[in-house]
Structure 1
Amino acid sequence: MIRLFAWSQKKFDQFLFDATDARMCSVLRVGYATLLLVMLGQLAGEAEVWFTDVGVLRSESAEQFNEYAKESVLFWLPATSSVVYACLGLLFFNAVLLLLGCWSRLQAVFIFVGLTSFQHRNPLIFDGEDTVFRLMIFFMIFMPLDHAWSLSKSWTRRCRSRDRVSTAWALRLVQFEMTAIYLSTAWSKWQGETWRDGTALYYVSRMEDVFGRGWLPDWLFETSGILHSMTWSVLLLETLLPVLLWIPATRRYAILLGIGLHLSIEYAMHLFLFEWIMILGLLSFVKLEDLFPRTDDGGSRDSQPTELARECENLHSRER
């Protein structure tokens, strides 16, 4: 039993703190910053309505029903339009610096504080999409975001061999988040009778406030066999994704299927940036060394796996 526990502990330690290609963290940085700029642009258009005392929810009222009011810096400041737009402007500035790779981990801290402040100032207008945004930027605080495509790295001109890899634990947090989302979604849908009997998508297609972004023929949802097949396919895929994403042999197919699912939903429904932030989260499972093998320092592609493995081993020993 002791040996089994020691073996399990060792494997879990390797899983969390093994080395990974740091370029994936930079991919997440660029993708996240791009989506964040879009979201901030949408918020700016209605900021006075949602976040000031001349809008629909005064700060005193928000504090009364919001148990997280102390976590928003907006409650410490005057609830005026100038203050709100100044805070949004700072958040926009941080997002631009994150996109360019200027001290990105520091920008991630500021963005996390900013998003938390706005979301807790008026939680009535935010949903699960915004929670994913907030959690992901928190995890990114602990990633080597400036590893690639970064102004900070070009300014410091550092290109050390050990910079190629990073411990995987912060990236694992994003992967755990994605797994939890799919697990909870599948569990929730299995509780619904319409998902089990294969008719759920019919009712989804009648939600005129969110459905109908792209044209789809009515017969898709009015033909029993097709309707049941589509509904059960969605349910089956969301049930299997949390497992298939962690199996190396099926990971690539799971990522492609997941991206296809989210692009299909994006085509059919008005859900703003939720599908795109989910696609970005799926990319955290991608191993860039499989797609774009390194050829740094004049090394051949055949020699790269050996070099990367050696670097991983050295990094793992240093972490210990």
Structure 2
Amino acid sequence: MNGIALSVSRSIARVTGAALGPYQTAVIRIGFSATWLLFLLRELPHRSELYGPESPWSHDLAEQLIADNGAFTALMWSDSAAWFEIVYALAVLSSVLLLLGWRTRTMSVLFMVGVLSLQNRSVFMGDGGDNVLHLMSIYLVLTRCGRVWSLDARRARRGDEARARGERVRDRVGPLLWSVFGFVLLTVTLAGGMDGDWLVPSLLWAVWVALGIGWVVGRAAEGSQPRILLDVVTNIVHNGALFVIMAEACLIYATAGWYKIQGSRWQDGTAVYYPLHLDYFSPWPALSDALAGNGTMVMLITYGTVAVQVAFPFTLFNRRVKNVLLAAMMTEHAVIAVTLGLPFFSLAMIAADAVFLPTSFLRRLGNWAARARARLPAGFPGGGGSRGGAARVSTVPGPRAGSGTEGPGEGAEGDKRSGEGTEGPEGPEGSEQTHVGFKA
């Protein structure tokens, strides 16, 4: 009994004491923002027909549907072409800034608003990956996804170095963004733009209030009771959202696999054959014909797809098997992107799969990227010789330490005030964090 109680207490301490999976959340932040950004850029010439005034799904039809289901979209606030262009431009801009990790908390909110506004405006546009992106954009708001591989992490690190030299560090951009965010939110609420479903408006207001509280509490001395309490709450929210993301990915694969088992074409091993002969899903007809002409390959892919999707949720506690199936699923989605012409669906699913990648692999990947950047020629942005010195190979630092709550400064101010540097390569407890809640 004492052993069980000790195990439970350790689990509670881990969930409340640290934001788990900093590298995994950074990867899904980069993955989903890049997916949405590439989609918006590809559809830039057709944006008005898809989501704007020229769409077959007119503003009046969208308004009637939204009045019935209460979905959130900023495009319903006005039917003018100028407003549509502003929303589309903000969606592109927020994707770029979230990808770079600049003011990640605020940008994750704007990213969610952009995704929901465009997708809910024209609900019939998409290929399945939009559903994943729709959900993940909401979950990302609740995570601390800018602790590594972001401009926020670099700003916090430079702030720590400046304070170590005795300099005073002030953040003016964060409070300004918070003030603008609050003004716009209040104006839209009073104008009736939040009269639909309560979920998104409540989330927007909750994030705005939390950012303000985080900034105020972040000024308190480290170790004070308010800061400790806020750290615990923030860690619980982050870890809970991360668990939901993982559960969502498992649910997608489990339901897809079990539904496939019930289909006769999947049972006889021929299901993959038929989409390869649809013109809409054949961007490379010669490649599709070559695959469809090999009966053994069709059978192996059909049965292999079902086996991997059904088995994956049950392999999460076995590191080796899980990693093998994870590689197989990512490869499968890459093949789908090429053979069936569904690149954004595949990118969205690969980004969701990335939450299960081992931390050790992600750190090696980051270090490879750092070494590659150091080898860039002098004068090239980010190159090793860009500052006049010899190329310097650096390793990716661990996640930032300090306050677990981002104020208007998006984490930089609170973390800077802690007086601590970044965590070393061994994680917060001196041993490498191998995975998000599971051994990897």
Q: TM-score, normalised by structure 2?
A: 0.60
The answer to whether the aligner puts 1:272 opposite 2:273 as a matched pair is: no
Could you tell me how far 1:112 is from its partner in structure 2? Answer: 0.8
Aligned length: 305
Indicate conservation of the 8 Å contact 1:241/1:258, yes or no.
Answer: no
Equivalence for 1:308: 430
Q: In the alignment, is the contact (CA less than 8 A) between 2:282 and 2:288 conserved in 1? A: no
Percent identical among aligned pairs is 23
Closer, same or farther in 2 for the Cα pair 1:35/1:311, shift >3 Å? Answer: closer
Structure 1, unaligned runs of 5 or more: 313-320
Most deviating of 40-49 and 250-259: 40-49
Q: 1:211 aligns with which of 282, 294, 302?
A: 282
Q: When you count helix as a share of all residues, which structure comes out higher?
A: 1
Q: Would you say 1:114 and 2:236 are equivalent positions?
A: no
Q: Quick one: which of 248, 260, 269 aligns to 1:189? A: 260
Q: Aligned partners of 1:171 and 1:192: how far apart in 2?
A: 33
Check whether the contact 1:189–1:195 (CA below 8 A) recurs between aligned residues. yes
Indicate the SS of the match to 1:148.
coil
Shift of 1:117: 1.4
Q: CA 1:238–1:17 in 2, change beyond 3 Å: closer, same or farther? A: farther
Which 10-residue stretch deviates more, 239-248 or 171-180? 239-248
CA RMSD in angstroms, aligned pairs only = 3.6
Whole-Å Cα distance in 2 between the matches of residues 115 and 178 of structure 1?
A: 19
What does residue 22 of structure 2 align with?
22
Tell me whether 106-115 or 168-177 shows the greater mean CA deviation.
Answer: 168-177
Q: What letter matches 1:45 in structure 2? A: P
Distance change >3 Å, CA 127–CA 259, structure 1 → 2: closer
> Structure 1 CA distance, aligned partners of 2:433 and 2:361?
16
| C-alpha distance in structure 1 between counterparts of 2:57 and 2:423, whole Å | 60
User: Bigger shift: 112-121 or 290-299?
Assistant: 290-299
**Residue 235 of structure 1, CA deviation:** 1.5
Gaps of at least 5 residues in structure 2 are 162-230, 365-395, 399-420, 435-440
Q: Is this contact kept in 2: 1:143–1:170, CA < 8 A?
A: yes
1:70-219 → structure 2 map (5 Å cutoff) = 70-77=71-78, 79-156=79-156, 157=158, 168-213=239-284, 215-216=286-287, 218=289
Q: Give the match for residue 237 of structure 1.
A: 308
* Alignment correspondent of 2:213: none
Whichever of the two has the greater Rg, that structure is: 2
Structure 2 counterpart of 1:286, from 338, 351, 357: 357
Alpha carbons of structure 1 residues 194 and 170: separation in structure 2 relative to 1, 3 Å = same
Q: Give the aligned residue type for 2:75.
A: L
Q: Which whole-Å deviations, capped at 9, do the CAs of 1:259-303 have from their partners, x for residues lacking one?
A: 1111221221111311111111111111223663888789997xx
Counterpart-to-counterpart distance in 1, 2:266 and 2:97: 44
* 1:60 aligned residue: 60
Q: 1:182 to 1:11 in 2, by over 3 A?
A: farther
Cα separation, 2, equivalents of 1:51 and 1:182: 30
CA deviation map 1:47-97 (0-9, x unaligned): 2223334432221122223433552121122x1221111111111111121
- Please say if 1:255 is aligned against 2:326: yes
For 2:356, what is the secondary structure of its paired residue? coil
2:292 to 206, 221, 230: 221
Q: 1:282 to 1:217 in 2, by over 3 A?
A: closer
Q: Is the 8 A contact 1:214 1:269 kept in 2?
A: no
Greater CA drift, 22-31 or 10-19: 10-19
Change (3 A) 1:101 1:229: closer
For 1:135, give the aligned amino acid.
Answer: L
Q: 1: CA distance between counterparts of 2:285 and 2:5?
A: 54
8 Å contact 1:136–1:174 — kept in the other structure?
yes
Q: Deviations over 1:173-225 (max 9, x none)?
A: 22111111101111221121100111111212111211343743746434544
2:57 match: secondary structure? coil
One-letter amino acid of the counterpart of residue 193, structure 1: S
Which letter maps to 1:35?
T
Q: Distance in 2 between matches of 1:292 and 1:74?
A: 40
Query: How many Å apart are 1:170 and its aligned residue?
Result: 2.6
1:38 CA displacement:
0.5
TM-score by length of 1: 0.80
User: Which residue is equivalent to 1:44?
Assistant: 44
- Offset at residue 148 of structure 1 (A): 1.9
Show CA shifts across 1:17-44 (max 9, x none).
6853413222222222222210111343
Q: What's the CA shift string for 1:116-147, capped at 9, x where partnerless?
A: 11111110113421111121122111222221
Contact 1:25 1:145 (C-alpha < 8 Å) held by counterparts: yes
- When structure 1 is superposed on structure 2, of 22-31 and 183-192 the one drifting more is 22-31
- Shift of residue 103 of structure 1? 0.9
Amino acid at match of 1:68: N
